[in-house]
Amino acid sequence: MDAFVISIGSELLTGHTINTNASWLASQLNMAGIGIREVRAIPDKLEDITAALNDAGKKASLVLVTGGLGPTNDDITMNALCSYTGSGLVVDQKVLEDIRQFFKKRGRDPGKVNLDQAMVPEKALKVIRNPNGTAPGLWMEKNGITIIAMPGVPHEMQHMFTAVILPELIKLFPGNHIIHRHVLTQGIGESFLASRISFWENDLPPEISLAYLPSAGIVKLRLTGRGKDGKRIRDMIEEQITKLKRIIPEYIWGYDMDQMEEVAGRMLREKGLSLSTAESCTGGYLAHRITLVPGSSDYYRGSIIAYSNSLKELLLGVSPGLIENHGAVSGKVAEAMASGARKRLGTDFSVGITGIAGPGGGTAGKPAGTTWIAVEGPGVIASERFIFGDNRERNIIRTANAALMMLIRAIRDQG
C-alpha cells in the first residue's frame, strides 16, 4: 500500500513556502504503516495537476492532494478534480450551512466567492467538513485509486486528516504495526546524552530503533518499534523506557506530545500551587509559553516584563545597589526579580530571568547569550547561569526551556 502526495501551489515553487504539509503527511502515513512513493510540488495549473494525478494513479493506490481549494481565482484544484473524474459540481447543503455559520460566528456576511466553496464534485464519495475554514475536503475514486483532496492551510489540513481521513485509511488498509514513543529530555546535549546512554542503546532489541531529535536545549528520544504483534512491541518499548528512566531521571521531563509548560502546569494544579514570572531578556516569551496552555489561569497569575533597569526597580523592587554591584545580568538580580514578582503578585512560585538576548549588547565578561535564571518557591531559591549563542530567537527559546526545567525540578522537589 503506497501513497503519492501532490502539493499544489505556486508559492511552493518560488521558495516562499516550505512544503511542511508533505512531511507532516508523510510522518502520519508512515506511523499508520503506509509508505510514500513520491512527493510532487506543482503550480496551480490545470495541465500540471492532471498530469500529476495520472502519474500518481500509475504509481500508488492512494493519492493525497493539498492546496488550491481556496476561494480566489488562483485556486483551481476543484476544477481539476472535476475534469479528471468527469464530474459536475453540485451544492453540498451541509458545507453551505458550515460556511454560513463560519461567517455568522465572526459577525460577517459571506460573499459569493465564499458560498461558492459549497460547490463540490457530484462524484465525491465523501465531502469532508472543515471546522477551521471554508474549503471542504474531498474523498474521490477513479479506476480503483483513492484520491483525497485537502486545503493547503496547515491547521485546516491537519485537523481534517487526523479527525476524519486517517481513521478511515487505517480501517481500509490495516497491516504492519509501527509504534513510536518519545522520551523528552532537557539540559543535556545530544552527544553527551548519546554517550551517557550508549550501553542502553547498544542493548536495544532489533525490533526497536532509536533516533535523537534535538531542538533548543531539548532532545527528544524517539523509540520506534516494528512488528506484527502490536501489544508485544508496545510492551517491549515500555520496558526499555523503564530502564532509561533509571539512567537519566534528572533530564527527563515528559513523554510523547507533552510540552514543558503543560507538565509544569499539571504539577502546579495537582499540588494547588500558583505561579508568576518576571522577565527581562525573554521579553514575555516564558509567559506566552505558560499561557498557551488552556486553563492556565487556574495557576498562573501574571508577569512583570521589566526591560529597563529602572522598571526592574520600580515594578519588582530590585534594589539599585544590587544592579550596581552585580550588574543587571547576575544571579543576585535574577533572584531579586523572582522574589519581587512572588511577593507583589502573591504566588507560591516565581521565576526571574535576566540576560543578554543578543546579537548585540554583550561584553567580554558577559557575552551575548549570557542568562541568569532564578526560581523561588516555598523554602527554596535557586539560580543558575547559562551561556547560549548569539542568535536572539534561539536564545529566547532556550532560556524559556531551561527556566521551565528548573521550575519542574523545583515543584517536583516540593514532594
In the complex, least distance from residue 90 CB atom to a copy of itself, rounded to whole angstroms: 21
134 Cα distance to chain centroid: 24
Structural contact between residues 337 and 316, judged by C-beta atoms closer than 8 angstroms: yes
Residues pairing with 384 in the sheet? 373
Nearer to a copy of itself, 4 or 253 (CB): 4
Q: Give the up-direction half-sphere exposure of residue 243: CA atoms within 13 A in the CB hemisphere.
A: 14
Nearer to a copy of itself, 114 or 414 (CB): 114
Nearer to a copy of itself, 195 or 415 (CB): 195
Cβ neighbours of 113 (radius 10 Å): 13
In the complex, least distance from residue 62 CB atom to a copy of itself, rounded to whole angstroms: 14
In the complex, least distance from residue 243 CB atom to a copy of itself, rounded to whole angstroms: 18
- Comparing CA positions, the residue from 119, 116, 43, 48 lying closest to residue 82 is 119
- What string of DSSP letters covers 323-377? HHHH-SSSHHHHHHHHHHHHHHHT-SEEEEEEE--SSS---SSS-TTEEEEEEEE
* Cα distances (Å, whole numbers) of residue 366 to 330, 398, 401: 10, 17, 21
Nearer to a copy of itself, 162 or 209 (CB): 209
Nearer to a copy of itself, 221 or 382 (CB): 221
Cα–Cα distance for residue pair 278/219, rounded to 1 Å? 26
Cα–Cα distance for residue pair 370/362, rounded to 1 Å? 8
Nearer to a copy of itself, 25 or 140 (CB): 25
In the complex, least distance from residue 162 CB atom to a copy of itself, rounded to whole angstroms: 14
In the complex, least distance from residue 12 CB atom to a copy of itself, rounded to whole angstroms: 7
In the complex, least distance from residue 213 CB atom to a copy of itself, rounded to whole angstroms: 6
Nearer to a copy of itself, 153 or 410 (CB): 153
In the complex, least distance from residue 124 CB atom to a copy of itself, rounded to whole angstroms: 23
Cβ neighbours of 380 (radius 10 Å): 12
